[in-house]
Structures are given as C-alpha cells and as structure tokens.
C-alpha cells in the first residue's frame, strides 16, 4: 500500500480499551494496545496515501458474546459493517460504532477515578 501510495487499513479495537473495567480488564488492556498500535501506524503512514482507521465497536451480537445478556446497546454485525464502510468513505481516523458509543465513552473517560471505581461497570 505504501508503494502504491493508496489504501485503507481498518483495525478493529473496542470501546473496552478506552478505560479499565473491573469485569474485563485483560480484554480491555489488549484492545487498548490495539488502539495504540493503530494510532502509531496511522501516524507513521501519514502523508503516504495509506489511511488507518481504528474501529471501536460496543457490544456486537457475535459468537464471542453469545453467552452475554443482550441489552439495548447490543447490535448486529451488519450494522458495524455498514458503519465501517461509512468510515472508510469519510476517511475517519477513529470511529465508535454505533455512533452513540462516542457519547457514552466521552462521559466514562471524564468521570473522576473515585467515582468510576464505585460504578463497578
């Protein structure tokens, strides 16, 4: 891609990597690493014509989540795929899918630690 000076790399991370949670901190740490790797790759390839997008989905109804209780925030893989295509077309750098996760994560990231710990999420 770098030699062709074009292309898009889509990296699938997760909203779980944006703040450490007691219930899934190992998974969250791995996804934080993926997001940081994608950010570094995006910065390294800046100006080469190769675009790197970090996709941060929330709960997706997949085999990985089949044992989870499904709530209002759970979406179908097809919805995520459509969001990824929109992000590629718009040359986004980071995209939360569905879009409402941006608001949720914005709030969670800005909670003081003493309060966040008490939420037990």
What amino acid positions are annotated as catalytic residues? 27
User: Cα separations (Å) of 62 from 56, 59, 66, 70, 75?
Assistant: 15, 9, 6, 11, 9
Specify the DSSP element, H or E, that contains 19: none
Contact predicate 35/17, CB 8 Å = yes
Residue 92 burial (10 A CB sphere; 0-12, 13-18, 19+): middle
């Amino acid at each position: 891609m770098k030699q062709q000076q074009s292309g898009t790399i889509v990296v699938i991370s997760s909203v779980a990597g944006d703040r450490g949670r007691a219930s899934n901190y190992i998974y969250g740490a791995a996804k934080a690493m993926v997001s940081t790797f994608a950010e570094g790759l995006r910065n390294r390839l800046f100006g080469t014509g190769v675009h790197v997008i970090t996709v941060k989905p929330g709960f997706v109804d997949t085999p990985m989540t089949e044992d989870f209780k499904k709530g209002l925030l759970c979406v179908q893989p097809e919805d995520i795929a459509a969001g990824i295509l929109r992000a590629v077309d718009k040359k986004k750098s980071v995209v939360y899918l569905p879009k409402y996760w941006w608001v949720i994560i914005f709030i969670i990231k800005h909670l003081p630690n003493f309060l966040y710990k008490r939420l037990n999420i």
